[in-house]
Amino acid sequence: MSYTSVLGGRRHRFDTLARLLAAASPERSGDRLAGLAAASEQERVAARWALADVPLTEFLAEPLIPYETDDVTRLILDTHDAAAFAPVAGLTVGEFREWLLSPGADAGALAALAPGLTPEMVAAVSKLMGNADLVAVARKVRVVTAFRSTIGLPGRLATRLQPNHPTDDPAGVAAALLDGLLLGSGDAVIGINPATDSPKAVRDLLELLDGVIRRYAIPTQSCVLCHVTTSVDLMSRGAPVDLVFQSIAGTQAANASFGVTLGLLDEAYEAALALERGTVGHNVMYFETGQGSALSAGAHHGVDQQTVEARAYAVARRYDPLLVNTVVGFIGPEYLYDGRQILRAALEDHFCGKLLGLPMGLDICYTNHADADDDDIATMLTMLGVAGASFVICTPGGDDIMLNYQSASYHDALYLREVLGLRPAPEFESWLDSIGLLDEKGGIRETTGAAHPLTAIGKELAA
């Protein structure tokens, strides 16, 4: 089936749904690298005209990647909830955009619709939306999850405290952990990217974090971001695993390049649930995604960067995760060239994930070879705060010394909470209050550190 429109006195023709979606995508370097981008600005808009007329049901009838060869396609189609889809089943993509923006599409309607949407539908509609549209609709969606803290409530913004260290030195990690806690961070998760995936190194870090969380009765969860097979191994040996982490992507082949299958994720999910380590909820998975991973694995099947990213969210939602974040500018300028492209991708990913029912957070970040700086971080942070992101990742001074990239800082999170009146997760907020870190207005008190009881974390380990 082909798709056509007339624009600028020319008839534009797109041979497949995948070609149409790719041509309708906003400009980004990754789609050009893959040879999928629109050949001109007019062709891009022509593709959007044609896409606006496509019925949503077409995405159920015409899989972008064949059902027979890709288990993510099978997952999407086999779990599609036709009853939930019914309210929008008669709409085209263009009409769907207008419905999403209408007052009738409120939090309850959007939550009920989520199981009826496929990644391709939400990716398609996002291509017809401006940045402000993506904010306005995502803001209406609330996805609430819980483990030892509750994430995603209205008026709340959680943070991941990321105390990475290039050699996993316990004292170095503890020093960065103390810094983050004193700045009121860590209610989404205290999450470390370890320098190696060795089970011993991962276990040592898990025990370090578990010790601090228990000793200070912090209502949060830890995660050492290792491969899912490492977590399964460690859980079987009694290591204190709170959340199981995995990077995932939107095709079977891209997941294979990460060494992951749905079967492996099923196994890890069951094992983590069985540990029953949550206190206020039982969401036990943590996923990271990011545009470009399928292309870099040579596994995109001719599907554009953003649509294939949205398909990763279908994998995530199978496991009721506590947290999902797109690591939006991590891979580099060959996928997202500059601050403008990274911002657009961040808003798209957040919107698509939220509509599909996920607790979306972001690692708002860039590498130094991308054309971006700390002002781009501030812009993205502000827009995503308005859009109602569940959490953001924070690093000391915004500089991750392990992964060599720039992310938001603990200070950035303080800024966002201040200007938008957002508060930490409720359990974590009470804990901050109990240890004297909350000021009378509910902000984080500027502490001298030395006099604070938490500093024992740093003093003992640095000794």
Partner 1 sequence: MSEVAVQTSELWSSLRQRTQARIGLGRAGSALPTRHRLELQAAHAAARDAVHSPFEPDVIAAGLAGTPTVRVRSSAPDRLTYLQRPDLGRRLEPMDRAHLPTGEWDAVFVVADGLSSRAVHEHAAAVVRETAARLENWHLAPVVLAEQARVALGDDVAHAMGAAMVVVLVGERPGMSAADSLGAYLTYRPTPGVTTDADRNCLSNIRPPLGLSYTGAAEKLAGLMTRARELGLTGVNLKDETDALPR
Closest by CA position to 180, among listed 439, 424, 427: 424
444/376 Cα distance (integer angstroms): 24
Residue closer to partner 1 by CB (options 148, 156) is 156
Angle (nearest 5°) at CA 72 between 70 and 73:
70
User: Does 77 participate in binding partner 1 (rule CB under 8 A)?
Assistant: no
Interface with partner 1 (CB under 8 A), residue from 396, 422, 427, 438: 396
Contact present, 45 and 8 (Cβ < 8 Å): no
Interface with partner 1 (CB under 8 A), residue from 69, 368, 430, 434: 368
Least distance to partner 1, CB of residue 181, Å: 11
End-to-end CA distance of the chain: 69
Stretch binding partner 1 (CB under 8 A), from 55-63, 136-144, 211-219, 396-404: 396-404
432/161 Cα distance (integer angstroms): 15
Helix 339-355 / helix 131-140 crossing angle, nearest 10 deg: 30
User: Does 450 participate in binding partner 1 (rule CB under 8 A)?
Assistant: yes
Interface with partner 1 (CB under 8 A), residue from 147, 313, 405, 431: 405
Least distance to partner 1, CB of residue 373, Å: 6
Phi, psi of 12, deg, nearest 5: -105, 135
328/290 Cα distance (integer angstroms): 5
Residue closer to partner 1 by CB (options 86, 401) is 401
Interface with partner 1 (CB under 8 A), residue from 406, 422, 425, 437: 406
C-alpha radius of gyration, the chain, whole number: 22
10/428 Cα distance (integer angstroms): 58
Helix 410-420 / helix 374-386 crossing angle, nearest 10 deg: 40
User: Does 374 participate in binding partner 1 (rule CB under 8 A)?
Assistant: yes
Contact present, 360 and 390 (Cβ < 8 Å): yes
Closest by CA position to 341, among listed 21, 31, 10: 31
Residue 36, token pair as written in the block:
């999928």
Residue closer to partner 1 by CB (options 269, 391) is 391
Interface with partner 1 (CB under 8 A), residue from 15, 81, 169, 266: 169
Stretch binding partner 1 (CB under 8 A), from 2-10, 146-154, 173-181, 431-439: 173-181
Interface with partner 1 (CB under 8 A), residue from 16, 32, 75, 142: 32
Least distance to partner 1, CB of residue 422, Å: 12
For the segment 42-71, give every residue that binds partner 1 (CB under 8 A): none
Helix (H) or strand (E) holding 281: none
Interface with partner 1 (CB under 8 A), residue from 26, 172, 290, 361: 172
Least distance to partner 1, CB of residue 163, Å: 7
Interface with partner 1 (CB under 8 A), residue from 4, 40, 79, 404: 404
320: number of Cβ within 10 Å: 17
CA 447 to chain centre: 31
Least distance to partner 1, CB of residue 399, Å: 5
Closest by CA position to 359, among listed 282, 286, 458: 286
β-bridge mates for residue 151, sequence order? 145
Q: Per-residue x/- mask for partner 1, residues 413 to 432, rule CB under 8 A?
A: -xx-xx--------------
232/270 Cα distance (integer angstroms): 10
Phi, psi of 171, deg, nearest 5: -70, -40
196: number of Cβ within 10 Å: 11
Stretch binding partner 1 (CB under 8 A), from 73-81, 111-119, 192-200, 303-311: 192-200
Stretch binding partner 1 (CB under 8 A), from 72-80, 82-90, 195-203, 384-392: 195-203
For the segment 129-168, give every residue that binds partner 1 (CB under 8 A): 163-166
User: Does 178 participate in binding partner 1 (rule CB under 8 A)?
Assistant: yes
Residue closer to partner 1 by CB (options 318, 445) is 445
Tell me the site size for partner 1, rule CB under 8 A: 57
Residue closer to partner 1 by CB (options 49, 415) is 415
Closest by CA position to 75, among listed 314, 289, 249: 314
User: Does 290 participate in binding partner 1 (rule CB under 8 A)?
Assistant: no
Burial class (CB in 10 A: 0-12, 13-18, 19+), 312: buried
Helix (H) or strand (E) holding 392: strand 391-395
Residue closer to partner 1 by CB (options 184, 361) is 184
Interface with partner 1 (CB under 8 A), residue from 43, 70, 120, 179: 179
381/369 Cα distance (integer angstroms): 20
User: Does 439 participate in binding partner 1 (rule CB under 8 A)?
Assistant: no
User: Does 209 participate in binding partner 1 (rule CB under 8 A)?
Assistant: no
Residues that bind partner 1 (CB under 8 A): 29, 32-33, 163-166, 169, 171-176, 178-179, 196, 198-201, 332-334, 337, 367-369, 373-374, 395-401, 404-406, 409, 411, 414-415, 417-418, 443, 446, 448-451, 455, 458-459, 461-462
